[in-house]
Structure 1
Amino acid sequence: MVRSASTPYASRDGTVEPADGAVARPLRADAQRNRAALIAAARTLFTERGSEASLEEIARRAGVGVGTLYRHFPSRQDLIEAVYVEEVEALCRSAEDFTGGSSWDALVHWFDRFVDYVATKKALLEELMATIGQDAPVFRTCHDAIFAAGRPLLDRAKRDGVVRPEVEFIDVLRMVSGVTMIRNAEPEDIRRVLSMALDGLRYRPTGPA
């Protein structure tokens, strides 16, 4: 499970794990709902408005007071980091949703979900970099979690012979990240280009000349 090294972390089961290693305490049901609503509202507004999204606006969208927001997230950085970690965890969990079909479909569907993750990441990354820096432990932890979730999907496709054996996960990640960064492109355009790029990973045995 991804966890920030600098702020308290509330897991999906409602347990708050303080950053200083103190004993975890459960959140009340209403507090869990408020925290989830704040993260959802922040995700939407940061994606829509970037750094222009205010904490007051996020609280209104979540249907809570600003005081409630600050009880869960004492600073803007804490909220941004929590949204970022939540997005990474959701991306990693989604790998489990694609294990029932073909290995190729699982790989494609997971990277399609990756497009949504990058859309939110772009909105958060500038502020995160400005406040905690690119060497912050949370970035390494999230990087490792993404590899742990996505690499098995690629390895399975390689074992099934549907992806070229020399393909490495880091190369696919760089390719997909590059596609998602196309400027002034609609989401459907990005997904169309991504589909063409991923198709280049397929294994196509060469017959006799």
Structure 2
Amino acid sequence: MAKQQIRTQRTDWQRNHERLVEVASVLVARDGAQVSLEKIAREAGVGSATLHRHFPSRRALLEEVFQGIVERLRRRAGELAGGDPRTGLVTWLEELTVCAANTRGLAAWLAAGADNDPPNGDTCHVVMREATTVLVERAMSVAAVRPGLSPEDLLTLAEAVSLVTEDDPTAARRLLHLALDGVRP
């Protein structure tokens, strides 16, 4: 009997966790990363205490909401690192910018993470910074970008363009390419 009760509790915990992430994903996409945690709990059909047991902070919830997108972007950066350094960097920045413009709340979340990353953390911002660093270093090694350009500069640029062009990937792409003309050596 005790094993069945534990199994049921685990099933309930997993179901609540998945439901919270699912609801949060929808609400963040619609309302942005500052959506009310109470609203997320209510629409997931759980109490706020349950939400906080699963996610002790907004940061923890949003990290999980954006985790799949960030992992896909990380893999893409790895693919691009195998080709032409300039093309890889530009393609990466374009894909990151368009993805963030299309994913409401992601650009703001990445920008906020720049100041709030815990040391040795594997946060969304850290993952994007590491991916960008590899591509920038490759581009610098063949003089495909200006000396002194930092990965943080390019992440800030991508985040800013994404924020002002949310839901408009065409404008995001166009503005990014205008800005990147200034990156060339």
TM-score, structure 1 length as denominator? 0.56
> Which amino acid is the alignment partner of residue 175 of structure 1?
L
**Structure 1 unmatched runs, 5+:** 1-26, 60-64, 204-209
1:127-146 pair list within 5 angstroms? 135=116, 137=118, 141-142=122-123, 143-146=125-128
Decide whether the 8 Å contact of 1:92 with 1:146 is kept in 2: yes
Q: Distance in 2 between matches of 1:155 and 1:94?
A: 16
Decide whether the 8 Å contact of 1:157 with 1:163 is kept in 2: yes
- Matching residue of 1:120: 105
- Matching residue of 2:177: 195
SS of the aligned residue for 1:137 comes to: coil
Decide whether the 8 Å contact of 1:163 with 1:201 is kept in 2: yes
> Which amino acid is the alignment partner of residue 90 of structure 2?
V
> Which amino acid is the alignment partner of residue 80 of structure 2?
F
**Structure 2 unmatched runs, 5+:** 1-9
Residues 43 and 93 (structure 1), Cα distance of their counterparts in 2 relative to 1, 3 Å cut: farther
Deviation at 1:199, TM superposition (A): 2.6
Deviation at 1:46, TM superposition (A): 0.5
Indicate the percent of aligned positions where both proteins have the same amino acid.
28
> Which amino acid is the alignment partner of residue 143 of structure 2?
G
Deviation at 1:95, TM superposition (A): 0.8
Decide whether the 8 Å contact of 2:140 with 2:147 is kept in 1: yes
> Which amino acid is the alignment partner of residue 95 of structure 2?
R
Decide whether the 8 Å contact of 2:145 with 2:184 is kept in 1: yes
Matched, 1:107 2:89: yes
Greater shift after overlay, 191-200 or 82-91? 82-91
Q: Distance in 2 between matches of 1:35 and 1:172?
A: 34
Residues 43 and 198 (structure 1), Cα distance of their counterparts in 2 relative to 1, 3 Å cut: farther
- Matching residue of 1:178: 160
Q: CA RMSD in A?
A: 4.0
Equivalenced residue count is 163
Matched, 1:98 2:41: no
Deviation at 1:149, TM superposition (A): 1.4
Q: Which has the higher contact order (CA 8 A, sep 6+)?
A: 2
More helix by share: 2
